[in-house]
Chains A and B, each alone.
Chain A
Amino acid sequence: MIEVRDLLKVFDTRGQVVRAVDNVSTGVAKGEVVVVLGPSGSGKSTFLRCLNGLEHFDAGHVSINGIPLADPKTDINAYRREVGMVFQHFNLFPHMTVLENLCLAQKVVRKRNKAEREAKARALLDKVGIAEKANEFPSRLSGGQQQRVAIARALAMEPKVMLFDEPTSALDPEMVGEVLDVMKTLAKEGMTMVCVTHEMGFAREVADRVLFFDHGKLLEDSAPAAFFDSPKDPRAQAFLRQVL
């Protein structure tokens, strides 16, 4: 489903060269849930953002569903339609109601008619458990509710892959559960997912594979049980000692 080969992303700010993603090669199979772990600044978010072209990479090859991202002939907008993304800070459109947030891309990109897109939106809001907030503005919602709306908004485009960029990091602790529950449901339904997260419990319970990043390098790629119980890389061992 997702194929990454020799991905390289270098940040060059005023002479300071940082290899944010350093020769990463991996793949994600259809229906697989991959959790990306690592200390902050390890390049895991940059890696995720390279997957849907929000970040331009310097070398390598990324393809989803066989469509290469770096190919100039690839229509980046058509590519992104198939890849949903959920952000740390939700990034809901504040000037639109929840329903309008879910309908905008369906209308502009998918050209669905009003009845169809609203039915889809309401069904998704129902699924994430906030059907009654359809006509509220995002500012009236709690963080957890906003993040669930953001997930529903991405799902409204019927993506084949979902990317999660620290979806629970900006939430109050009591709201983390409701968002993770939605993600678990998605995983059970067979959605292909890549999650950057600090939720070790989620990783252990839901992930099929865990990727461990540090200093832009993919250091470990193993099943969650193996990773949490007997990490092979010394930096992964140190990281787990810190967080567990």
Chain B
Amino acid sequence: MIKHKKAQWPWHGLTALVLVGLAISLYLATSMMAYEWRWNRVPQYFAYQAEEAQRAASYGTVAEIVVQGDNARVTLKGEDGEPQVLDVVKDSLQLSRGDDVAEGDQIGVTRHWAAGPLAWGLWTTLWLSVVSGALGLVIGLFAGLCRLSNNPTLRDLSTVYVELVRGTPLLVQIFIFYFFIGTVLNLSREFAGVAALALFTGAYVAEIVRAGVQSIARGQNEAARSLGLNASQSMRHVILPQAFKRVLPPLAGQFISLVKDTSLVSVIAITELTKSGREAITTSFSTFEIWFCVAGLYLLINLPLSHLASRLERRLAQSD
């Protein structure tokens, strides 16, 4: 049968239409239950103008106010003769020249941009993912190679590790790490969280590594050994580079899972993205908007990650 080349774009158009239809029906559904969308409340949870009160240090009087643009420079003259100079925002200035001030009186405020809870949450999620991902990779590589070792003890220990971690829920592991091991060894909550995530990821990476190494034809190792390479040189130069290429897709999937799993450490009061989202909702009452934002932020981490993985995959494919 002759294969006819058909245009692809009408189908992509249909895809877009389906997605738009879904979005519209979602919108209609929410409007029927009279939800008031207030997207304008969201940006302040990313960044806001923080105010810092400037107070008088001692009893005295306002000696001078110099206005420069939006700011005002206030000079106070204390009872002991010591002058105090304060820069505040003009519209927050509550005094005029000659007023008496007591110790601790607010003269005005200064403003500066500060990261809001969602930005901090995003940052926490990022560093949790990076640190536990890197640790998990190291643990997984080591445990995976141990599973393939000739030494029965190493093999048994790594099998026990993988089976224990894979057979219990991550949530339970986090609790055990925080409440049991964390209490015994006096660990901080961040340490406990990262350790639980790294050990969890390590177990899965170990299985991925093992599968990758075992998928490389036996002849490759034999060829390397016949040239005089020892077992670890053969692993390092011949087997692992080829295995890495093969396991890249499942490995990328594992790291994407890890980024999402960091949301579970909110149960031990680490304020990562999900927990900061929940906190933002308690003050804004914009439930839908915040959760959509939180989902979007997770996508913001994960989409580039999978893009990076597929680019790396293509680069490694040049030898095929």
Contact = CB atoms under 8 A, between A and B. Distances in A.
Given A94-B319, A95-B319, A139-B320, A80 B242 contact: no
A179 interface: no
A77 B219 CA distance: 17
Given A93-B238, A137-B319, A77 B222 contact: no
Q: Number of contact residues on B: which range applies?
A: 20 to 34
Interface in A186-223: none
B285 to A, nearest CB: 56
21 contacts: A54-B225, A54-B226, A77-B225, A77-B230, A78-B228, A80-B225, A80-B227, A83-B226, A87-B222, A87-B223, A91-B217, A91-B219, A93-B238, A95-B245, A95-B319, A105-B229, A108-B229, A108-B233, A109-B229, A109-B233, A157-B228
B296 interface: no
Closest CB pairs A-B (n = 5): A91-B223, A81-B228, A105-B227, A85-B226, A91-B219
Contacts of A94: 242, 319-320
A227 B148 CA distance: 46
A160 interface: no
Interface string A80-101: 1101110101011111100000
A96 B227 CA distance: 15
Nearest to B236: A108
Interface residues of B: mostly helix, strand, loop or mixed? helix
Given A104-B237, A137-B319, A154 B242 contact: no
A87 to B, nearest CB: 6
Contact of A154 (B217, B219, B227, B238): B227
Contacts of A153: 227
A147 interface: no
B220 interface: yes
Given A91-B217, A137-B318, 5 more contacts: A91-B223, A93-B223, A105-B224, A105-B227, A108-B233
A120 to B, nearest CB: 14
A136 B320 CA distance: 11
Interface string A132-150: 0000010100000000001
B227 A139 contact: no
Nearest to A53: B225
Residue among A77, A87, A92 with max Cβ neighbours from chain B (10 Å): A77
Interface in B156-186: none
